[in-house]
Amino acid sequence: MKYLVLLLVVVLVLWWAGRPRVARSAGNTSRGGASAAGRQVRPMVACAHCGVHLPQDEALSGPGGHYCCEAHRAAHR
């Protein structure tokens, strides 16, 4: 009898632990699919000074690559 109760507890814990993941992934799929269809992919570049990644159209071009701000671009001149 104690093994049956232990098995029931293990099954309930596994069910409880797996339940939030299923709910979150189902919710993200329905919202993510609709919003992703309306968005375009933008190429990302890394700042040559600090390495932070930002969209290429927001980056500043300069000697040696792309920069995230004017101060980093000026540091490489």
User: Looking at the structure, do residues 33 and 13 belong to the same domain, yes or no?
Assistant: yes
User: Looking at the structure, do residues 1 and 35 belong to the same domain, yes or no?
Assistant: yes
Domain interval for residue 17 = 1-39
Tokens of 61: 């071009």
Question: HEC string of 19-41?
Answer: HHHHHHHHHHHHHHHHHHHHCCC
The secondary structure of residue 58, as a DSSP letter, is G
User: Looking at the structure, do residues 45 and 65 belong to the same domain, yes or no?
Assistant: yes
Model pTM score: 0.50
- Look at residue 6 and give its three-state secondary structure: helix
User: Looking at the structure, do residues 31 and 45 belong to the same domain, yes or no?
Assistant: no
Looking at the 3D structure of the chain, how many domains does it have? 2
Per-residue pLDDT tens for 10-43? 999 998 888 765 445 555 555 555 566 667 899 9
User: Looking at the structure, do residues 46 and 74 belong to the same domain, yes or no?
Assistant: yes
Give the chain's mean pLDDT: 83
Tokens of 9: 């507890």
User: Looking at the structure, do residues 34 and 45 belong to the same domain, yes or no?
Assistant: no
User: Looking at the structure, do residues 24 and 52 belong to the same domain, yes or no?
Assistant: no
Spatial distance between the Cα atoms of 9 and 23, rounded to a whole number of angstroms: 22
